[in-house]
Structure formats: C-alpha cells, structure tokens
Amino acid sequence: MDTASNTRITVKPSGAALAADIVGLDLSRPPGQDTYAQIRKAWNDHLVLRFRGQKLDDPQFLNFARLFGELDSAPIHAGKDVVNPYPEITVMSNIKVNGKSIGNLGHYEAVWHSDMSYNERTPIGSLLYALEVPPVGGNTGFSNMYAAYDTLPAELKREIVGKTCRHDSSRNSAGELRKGFKDVADPREAPGANHPIIRTHPETRRNALFLGRRQSAYINGLPLDESEDLLNRLWAHATQPAFEWYQVWQVGDLVMWDNRSAMHRRDAFDPDTRRLMHRTQIKGDQPFFDPATA
Ligand code: OGA
Ligand code: MN
C-alpha cells in the first residue's frame, strides 16, 4: 500500500448496493484537504467506507472521526460493568475479564438498526474499528435505505408521506433492556424520539427510509394494528438482500457508515472466540423531511 504521501487514494466500490474501500490511506496521520474532500464525496456516494490495514490507538481513532464533526457521547449500555476508555468510545465486545463484560452486545446477533435513532438528534455516522476478530461469524451487514425508498411501491410511498415513527430507546440492537429503562409491552408507550419515516439527507438531498429498529416501533396517529401492519410491510421491503452488503472483518479494518441513509446489523458468533471493536459516533442533527424533494 502506498501511503507515504497520504494523498493518492483509490475508491473501490464493493459492487453491491453500497460500500466502497478507500485504498492508500494511513489514518493515523491527517489526510490532506483534497483527500479529505474525496473521502467525504465517497461517503455520500457509497454510504459505507472501509479502510483496511490500519493501526490506530484510541486518540488517533478519535482524531480521524473528529474530521467529520463533533463526536457524540457513547449510548447507554445494557451491561452493568462496561466502562468505556473515552466518553465518546463504545467498546463492542464479548470479552470478559474476571467474569465481567468489557463491552456491549456480547456475541449475540444485533438486528437491523440505525445507531441512536431514539434520540432527538441522531448521529450522522458511526465508525467501527476492529482490534480482535473471531475466525468466523460476527459479520456486519449494511443496507441502503435510499434504494429501499426509491423502490417502494407508489402506494406504500403515499401511505408514509408526512408520517412519523417513534423510535424506542429502551432496548439495544441485541434486544437487551438498557440500564434504567423498564420493559414496555405496548409500543405506543415506548420512550424515545419521533422522526419522519421519509428522511431527507441534508447533504445529498436524497430521501431515505428511516426506520430505526423494528422492536416497539410505532407509527404515530395510527391504531396499533394498522401501525404494526404498515411497519411489517415497510420492513419486509427494506430488508431485501438486493440492498445489502456484508463486511467480513479483519483486524485493522475501520468501517464508517452514514446512519441517515444506511441501516446495519450483525451476525452472532461463537462465544468462545474473541471479538473486540471500538466504536465512536459523529453528532448529528434532527432528522427532517423536505417536501420539496418528494
Ligand atoms: C455498532 C454496531 C455491530 C458490530 O457498533 O453500532 O451495531 O459489528 N456494531 O459490532
Ligand atoms: Mn449499531
């Protein structure tokens, strides 16, 4: 890899509905202005970027992330023992030290979601950096929500124009209850934020389906059974393999994704193997729908 100058990068699209590799960059050193502009453009074009073969400590990881904006603090976790090395870093891991989990999500499957969408202001993107990976499993899937929106049947599009959805904040993407939250049986009573289902991306001005998480979601203003039915149809459409790409992790991979236009999930893996990732997230704005784009 020619990273000597940190200026000649190549964007290699995955060939799937989203994601590209950025080749030729050492992220431990700041990229030049032109390179940075290329990365930003590639991020808007491909939604998910992968940088392989990196060697970063936490401050270098955070410095790279800060190029894209102010960082958000880590979310509230389910595990009682988890201590993050920095307030902006979430440790994603199944590793236990003296019987205590050092990270979040364990070895479980994480269902499709957009990070922290249950907040009023949602992170524009997240960065995940692989320090240890299991020999098999634990792959992370990404799904293009512009494509999901663009291909919605016209009738379904009409049904969701102007509608908002409640994004439940009580559970994480492994379905675990977060610290300090109580279990809700009725989605209408779930805590969280309300966001437009059709979300206009502030930079590309393209519309995306913005669904958050399926569990305890609720479409405001509808009777519960109609909300469930509409959500089921939207999720069935949004989770088609044609919109997906899967990241098979190697140590030193840094993957960054746009939370406004992509969802992600994770496969479970063997609990007797180790996986260790550091994640950070870039503070964002309040999701909106611009009617002029429809
Ligand atoms: C995340 C996340 C999945 C993974 O970091 O937000 O969902 O692959 N991680 O660990
Ligand atoms: Mn996530």
Determine the atom of ligand 1 nearest the C-alpha atom of 275.
Answer: 10
* Angstrom distance (rounded) from CA 253 to CA 261: 21
Taking Cα atoms as reference points, which of 4, 183, 178 lies closest to residue 105?
A: 178
Q: Which atom of ligand 1 is the closest one to the Cα of 279?
A: 5
DSSP string over 32-86: PHHHHHHHHHHHHHHSEEEE-S----HHHHHHHHHTTSPEEPPPPPS-SS---SS
Distance from residue 248's CA to the centre of ligand 1 (Å): 13
- The answer, yes or no, to whether any atom of ligand 1 lies below 6 A from the CB of 107, is no
The label of the residue with tokens 């406004």 reads 260
Q: Which atom of ligand 1 is nearest to the CA of 264?
A: 7
Q: How far is the CA of 2 from the centre of ligand 2 (A)?
A: 32
Indicate the SS3 state at residue 227. Answer: helix
**What is the predicted pLDDT for the residue at 2?**
47
The predicted structure's pLDDT at residue 6: 73
Distances (CA, A) of 61 to 2, 74, 127, 279: 20, 15, 9, 9
Query: Residue whose CA is closest, atom 3 of ligand 1?
Result: 266
Check residue 242 and report its DSSP letter. G
Contact (Cβ atoms closer than 8 angstroms) between residue 261 and residue 144: yes
Q: Are strands 20-23 and 48-51 parallel, antiparallel or unpaired?
A: parallel
Query: Is-above-0.85 flag for pTM?
Result: yes
Q: How far is the CA of 292 from the centre of ligand 2 (A)?
A: 30
Domain ranges of the chain: 10-284
CATH 3.40.50.300 fits 10-284, yes or no: no
Nearest to 258 by CA among 74, 64, 40, 92: 40
Q: What's the confidence (pLDDT) of residue 148?
A: 98
Ligand 2 centre to CA of 7 (Å) is 30
Note the pLDDT of residue 231: 98
Closest Cα to atom 7, ligand 1: which residue?
Answer: 265
Check if 77 has its Cβ closer than 6 Å to any atom of ligand 1.
no
CA-closest candidate to residue 195, choices 226, 217, 177, 170: 217
What is the 168 CA–ligand 2 centroid distance (Å)?
14
- pLDDT per residue rounded down to tens, the chain (294 residues): 445 557 789 999 999 999 999 999 999 999 999 999 999 999 999 999 999 999 999 999 999 999 999 999 887 766 656 677 899 999 999 999 988 899 999 999 999 999 999 999 999 999 999 999 999 999 999 999 999 999 999 999 999 999 999 999 988 888 888 888 888 888 998 899 999 999 999 999 999 999 999 999 999 999 999 999 999 999 999 999 999 999 999 999 999 999 999 999 999 999 999 999 999 999 998 999 999 987
Ligand 1 near 277 CB (within 6 A)? yes
115 touches ligand 1 (CB under 6 Å): yes
CA 105 to centroid of ligand 1, rounded, Å: 8
